[in-house]
Amino acid sequence: MVTITVNGVRREVQAPTDTPLLYVLRNDLELSGPQFGCGLAQCGACSVLLGGKEIRSCVTPLSAATSAEITTLEGLPARWAKQKGLAAADAEKTLHPVQQAWIEEQTPLCGFCQNGMMIKATELLESNATPTVAQIKAAFTTSGPSAHLCRCGSYTAIIEAVQRASTVMAKGGKA
Amino acid sequence: MNLRKNNARLISETNQVSATNQIPEENEVNVFGAALSRRNFVKAGGALFVGFGVLAADGVKNVAHAATTRNSLDATLPESWIEIHPDNTILIRTGKSDFGQSTAFTAYRQIVAEELNTTFEAVTTVVMGDTDRTPDGSGAFDFLGSGMPNIRKAAAYTYQALLDLAAQRLGVAKSDLSVKDGVVSAAGKRMSYGDLVKGQQLKLTIPVKGDLTSIMGLTVDGNPPLKPVSQYTVIGKSFKNSVTATKVAAKEQWAVDVRLPGMLHARMVHPKTLGSTLISAGAVDKTKFPNAQVIVKGNLVGVVAPTEWEAIRAAQQVAGATTWKDWKGLPGNARLFDYLKQDADWKSTPVTKSDKSNGDVPPAMAAAAKKLTVSYQLPYMKHAPMGPTMALADARKDGTVYIYTHNQNPQALRGEIAQMLSTSPDNVVVRIFSGPGHYGRSNGGNAGAEDEAVILSQAVGKPVRVQWMRPEDFQWSTQSPAALSDVEIGLDNNGKMIAYQIDHYMPAMQDDRPIGAVLAGLPTMPAPSEKGDFVANTRNDPSDPWVYDGVATLLEQGHGTYQVGQKSSPLAVGLRDHSMRTPGQFQQNFPRELAVSEAAALAGIDAIQFRIDHAKEARVIGVLKAVRDASGWETRTSPHPAAKSSGSTPGSAPGSTAGATPTATPSATLVRGQGVSVMFRSETYWACVAQIAVNPATGAIAVEQVTVAVDPGIVVNPLQLKRQVEGGTMMGVSIALYEELMFDESGVTTRDWRTYPVLKMADIPEVKVVLLNHPETGKYGGGSEAANALAAPAIAAAFFDATGKNARRLPLKPEYIQTLLKA
């Protein structure tokens, strides 16, 4: 048995330790944010944060995911609430500014890749609150194991959403 | 507000209450050819249900049957087009599956609200795709139905029925009623739609025609009065897509999330080649995978296990122990165009000719002062959804089959599964959930995993979830067919096109045979042939409407053939093809538009002005002028005065200099160019300008800016249309620069995102979208897929402008570009 911490909760998992984290999150913990896109760390659809850093859950064995807290798309609102010290009642009603910006900008088309896009955006904005367009492009293209791919071509909408989220986060979350 | 599936609103109350001024129970009221009747009065609830009846017309023989089975909608059931509820909420149903176009959740709600004279917000529920919960079938294409989608007519009939009801209830003539925001007023009295339906169950039966499980589904018939465009208040506004919020918040149920009790996970072991038959299937190593099981049916091999990881690993082990016959029946991508030109059979399939073809080409061409004779080539490309195909099937003991998946044409899938199992469509239900964009590959009903899941589920007697892995999604799915075109253009002394001939060659584009059924040797529709129906045919129809009506002599011909390898593969598969965004028209528009740009250069006339000079339709000229103004186009001849194919002389920078540049390249070594393209598709006019930079030393191309002008007639939702055009443009840039299926003599060698690179964020152009709203046209044209086709011919023309060299095939990879530059 392996114990991992996912979105603030310690979870005991029976799966073999070589099971990729993605299948544990999706099948054992029934989380639906991370998606199976390639199983090869080539697209980014499966991204989660491990200790605040984006990893590809499709190639990360369960045994390598015990060292730090895992945050999935489901956990972004609570992550933001904790960072901002919001009351629990408020936190439940609040999306992460990145998620809210994705809605405001109507970023997703099919949306299958957007889990990874929002995870990457969160990682970026936590380390660089006001990224330039060039820095945003670099983050989504060269900063991880592979570029984050969007087949529908929502890249412009992603950049605009990151910029919107950046503005909101810089004001402490007030839109 | 639940904007997805809401099955809690089904109304079962049937107790009668007294009422006056109601639609009489016995008599039907004729509403412009639809029939309005009251089924019952009810104590609570009540609703107006809009169902359908079947017209006795040609080609509808399957409908009467399908429409009355337990798994299809019946006008007497609440599962119908539109429901008006007593609380003034409205539910709509559509057989079309929204794959990210946003249409079902924005435009359809707007259209219904508009025709019903109510608010966008009143349409609270959209039920989409499920074969037992939606009425009309058809695929995730042409959502706006060239301006007359089914849902618009259904809403228009409903509105007239509501007016009839209101006239009765208020005791006034229909013409004396006025309606605003779902409230009917007359003579000082007011009733909401909810009030009108409260306490009764009303049924409106509207006429339809067609075949529910065919690729086109049913079409609403008749001509109900439509709301005048001048009175629109909801259409034209940028409403948000309601599904975006649930997807972003991780609250959407995707097809990949669906689980059933006792479900097994499966992975397939597909044949070694596209023509390999099975010699022997490997056995599971039970010491390592005690719960896994191999299923073999014909040449179909699958491995099931209770957990996904065991299924994956056991399938890998079984694959290693499975033996297949070898097969070499493909030309390989290096020899593809030699094969298509020299070996393919273009004679068995009749040549087709476009409607606008006119005049006698040879004498007109002989009279030309200048002639352009060129050929163009397009590679096989992949739809390449972000998620590989998957489906969960539950083949039950009572003979019914439920399929939970993500599919562009659920009713067609239902028909295909019924055919495969030699059972009635009554026994098949397809439920649809969100998933990755398919870009056309499942619009004929299947993407790969659906039928395989059914076969495995039937074999093990449990629900089975088949998920393809990334390599097999590239190697065993369909592709967008390769194509080549020969063009000849004659110019007179003034540089005017006096004769134009284009001959398009393309293997059959639409193979809807489910691959698992083919491998298992189960019944399917036939492979495409010259004898097939309008879908499964090798015919290559001219599908790129001609827009240069000033050209006196025109011949556009289509030549078709079998899919490559289809006839020699012992599996009868080979390189299966399927329509991909702007199908066929992309393969025809690329050579047409690039040839017109080359002709403009030969004539010494600016490429946009040249097009305007040959166009007659005001809207064609309108999009050209709009894109010229918005893009910073330089009106001049091509190539650019500073065009270079070698050295380091800088070109001037046309338009914006923002956007991508080839990585770490000093701007001084780049040359820049501009190109244009035009298209008419699904009642929408498009023009595109691409501005690019080329590094002659490396052959790298950076697309710096793409401007697209769109005239769809009425712009239904400006924000959603803009996002669709931006996305399509990115896919177009990706197609132009990177995308090409690689294959050898046995099968597809492309296997992942490294061997099938697509556009990455660092390499995107700045995209400008110009929306031209023309309400006076009274129609709304399609807004999504055509954007994909526009960029490539504009980029290739811009390459000539920058370098003076002609790139006549895609993709424009650096190796190809370097070859051109050195030539």
Extract the tokens encoding B723.
């996002």
Q: Is B375 helix (H, G, I), strand (E, B) or coil?
A: strand
Q: Which amino acid is at B234?
A: V
What pLDDT was estimated at residue A22? 98
pLDDT of residue B218: 86
Residue B20 pLDDT class (50, 70, 90 cuts): very low
pLDDT surpassing 70 at residue B637: yes
pLDDT, mean of residues B309-333 = 98
Antiparallel, parallel or unpaired: β A47-50 and A53-56: antiparallel
Average pLDDT, chain B: 89
Q: What is the mean pLDDT of residues B119-133?
A: 92
Nearest to A103 among B101, B248, B719 (CB): B248
- Chain A positions touching B254 (Cβ under 8 A) are 32, 35, 112
Residue % of chain B over a pLDDT of 90: 78
Length of chain A: 175
Angle, CA of A158, A164 and A166, to the nearest 5°: 100
Distance between CA atoms of B573 and B521, rounded to whole angstroms?
12
Query: What local confidence, expressed as pLDDT, does residue B29 receive?
Result: 72
Q: Where in the sequence of chain B do the CATH 3.30.365.10 domains occur?
A: 29-243, 255-325+389-467, 616-822
Give 3-state DSSP helix, strand, coil % of chain A, rounded to 5. Answer: 45, 15, 45
Q: Which residues of B340-363 are buried (b: 16+ CB within 10 A; e: fewer)?
A: beeebebeebeebebeebeeebee
Position B352 pLDDT exceeds 70: yes
The full set of domain ranges for chain A reads 2-73, 75-170
Contacts of B387 in chain A (CB under 8 A): 35-37, 45, 112
pLDDT band (50, 70, 90) for residue B38: low
- What's the pLDDT score for residue B429? 95
Residue A146: pLDDT band with limits 50, 70, 90: very high
Those of residues 743-782 in B touching chain A at CB distance below 8 A are 752-754, 758-764, 767
Whether B64 and B54 have beta carbons less than 8 Å apart is answered as yes
Among B93, B81, B52, B129, smallest CA distance to B411 is for B129
Write down the pLDDT at residue B26: 47
pLDDT at B401 over 60: yes
DSSP B341: I
d(CA B414, CA B179): 41
Distance CA B803, CA B806 (A): 8
Amino acid at B564: V
User: What pLDDT was estimated at residue B86?
Assistant: 86
CB contact under 8 A, B752 and A154: no
**Domain range B255-325+389-467, CATH architecture:** 2-Layer Sandwich (3.30)
Q: Indicate whether B53 pLDDT > 60.
A: no
Nearest to B598 by CA among B419, B809, B396, B374: B374
Give the model confidence (pLDDT) of B694-752 as tens digits.
Answer: 999 999 999 999 999 999 999 999 999 999 999 999 999 999 999 999 999 999 999 99
Determine what percent of chain B is predicted with pLDDT higher than 70: 89
pLDDT over threshold 70, residue A65: yes
Interface-testing mutation among B3, B248, B752, with chain A (most A C-beta atoms within 10 A): B248
- Token pair 């119908």 is found at B80
Whether B56 shows a pLDDT value over 90: the answer reads no
What are the residues whose beta carbons fall under 8 Å from the beta carbon of B625, sequence distance 6 or more?
Answer: B612
Question: How far is the C-alpha of B556 from the C-alpha of A172, rounded, in Å?
Answer: 61
List phi, psi (to 5°) of A161: -70, -40
Which of A 2-41 lie inside 8 A of B, CB atoms?
15-16, 18-20, 23, 26-27, 31-33, 35-40
Q: Is B371 exposed, middle or buried (0-12, 13-18, 19+ CB in 10 A)?
A: middle
Q: Is there a contact between B412 and B139 (Cβ–Cβ < 8 Å)?
A: yes
In this structure, of A112-121, B141-150, B249-258, B408-417, the range with the lowest mean pLDDT score is B141-150
Distance CA A173, CA A166 (A): 9
CA distance A120 to A135: 12
Verify whether the Cβ–Cβ distance A40 to B760 is below 8 Å: no
Name B37's Cβ contacts closer than 8 Å, sequence gap at least 6.
B23, B25, B27, B28, B29, B202, B203, B205
What backbone phi and psi angles, to 5 degrees, belong to B370?
Answer: -135, 150
> Averaged over B348-365, what is the pLDDT?
97
How high is the pLDDT of residue B814? Answer: 96
Are B309 and A152 within 8 A, CB to CB? no
> Which positions in chain B touch A95 (Cβ < 8 Å)?
248-249
User: HEC string of B743-806?
Assistant: ECCCCECCCCCCCCCCCCHHHCCEEEEEECCCHHHCCECCCCCHHHHHHHHHHHHHHHHHHCCC
| pLDDT of the residue at B49 | 63
Tell me whether residues B386 and A136 touch, CB distance under 8 A.
no
The fold for domain A2-73 equals Ubiquitin-like (UB roll) (3.10.20)
From chain A, pick out residues whose CB is under 8 angstroms from the CB of B99: 110
Q: Is the pLDDT assigned to residue B233 strictly greater than 50?
A: yes
Average pLDDT over residues B98-102: 90
Cα distance between residue B54 and residue B742, in whole Å: 48
User: What does the pLDDT read at residue B67?
Assistant: 37
Burial of B175 (0-12, 13-18, 19+ CB in 10 A): exposed
Q: What is the distance between the alpha carbons of residues B251 and A33, in angstroms, rounded to a whole number?
A: 8
Using an 8 Å CB-CB cutoff, list chain B residues near A159: 761
Task: Supply φ then ψ for residue B701, to 5 degrees.
Answer: -115, 130
Tell me the pLDDT tens digit for each residue of B656-677.
Answer: 333 344 444 556 689 999 999 9
pLDDT (tens digit, 9 = 90+) per residue, B412-421?
A: 999 999 999 9
Cis previous bond, A131, omega within 30:
no
The alpha helices in B35-124, defined as continuous H runs, are: 61-66, 107-115
Amino acid at B102: S
Residue B652 clears pLDDT 70, i.e. is over it: no
Query: Any idea which fold A75-170 has?
Result: DNA polymerase; domain 1 (1.10.150)
Asked if the model's pLDDT at residue B373 lies above 80, the reply is yes
What's the confidence (pLDDT) of residue B227? 96
- Give the lowest-confidence range in A81-90, B415-424, B462-471, B709-718: A81-90
Q: Which amino acid is at B49?
A: F
Instruction: Read off the pLDDT band of A71 (50, 70, 90).
Output: very high
pLDDT 10s digits, B771-813: 999 999 999 999 878 999 999 999 999 999 999 999 999 999 9
Exposure string for B328-339, b = 16+ CB within 10 A, e = fewer: ebbbebeebbeb
Domain B333-380+478-586: which topology?
Aldehyde Oxidoreductase; domain 4 (3.30.365)
| Integer Cα distance of A87 and B487 in angstroms | 69
The pTM assigned to this predicted structure is 0.93
Whether A132 contacts chain B with CB within 8 A = no
Tens digits of residue pLDDT in A24-62: 999 999 999 999 999 999 999 999 999 999 999 999 999
Over the stretch B284-300, which tens digit does the pLDDT of each residue have?
A: 999 999 999 999 999 99
In 3D space, the residue among B721, B80, B811 whose CA is nearest the CA of residue B378 turns out to be B811
- Judged by average pLDDT, the poorest of A128-132, B70-74, B451-455 is B70-74
Give the per-residue SS3 of B293-310.
EEEEECCEEEEEECCHHH
Do B397 and B528 meet the contact criterion of CB atoms below 8 Å apart?
no
What are the Cα distances from residue B470, in Å, to B176, B385, B463, B477, B753? 62, 10, 23, 11, 9
Provide the chain A residues 62-81 that lie in CB contact (below 8 A) with chain B.
72-74, 77
- What are the residues whose beta carbons fall under 8 Å from the beta carbon of B26, sequence distance 6 or more? none
**Interface predicted TM-score (ipTM) of this complex, two decimals:** 0.98
Average pLDDT, stretch B123-145?
Answer: 89
Residue B200: what pLDDT?
Answer: 73
Helix axes B585-603, B786-803, angle to 10 degrees: 30
CATH of domain B29-243: 3.30.365.10
Taking residues B78-83, report their average pLDDT.
67
Torsion angle, alpha carbons of B731, B732, B734, B735, to 10? 120
Q: Over range B181-188, report the average pLDDT.
A: 95
B779 burial type by CB count under 10 A (0-12 exposed, 13-18 middle, 19+ buried): middle
Q: CATH: 3.30.70.1140, 3.40.50.1170, 3.30.365.10, 3.30.420.40. Which one for B616-822?
A: 3.30.365.10
B68-72, B258-262, B366-370, B802-806: segment of lowest average pLDDT: B68-72
Q: Where are the beta strands (DSSP E) in B224-379?
A: 264-268, 278-280, 293-297, 300-305, 323-324, 352-353, 370-378
| Residue B352 contacts residue B541 (beta carbons within 8 Å) | yes
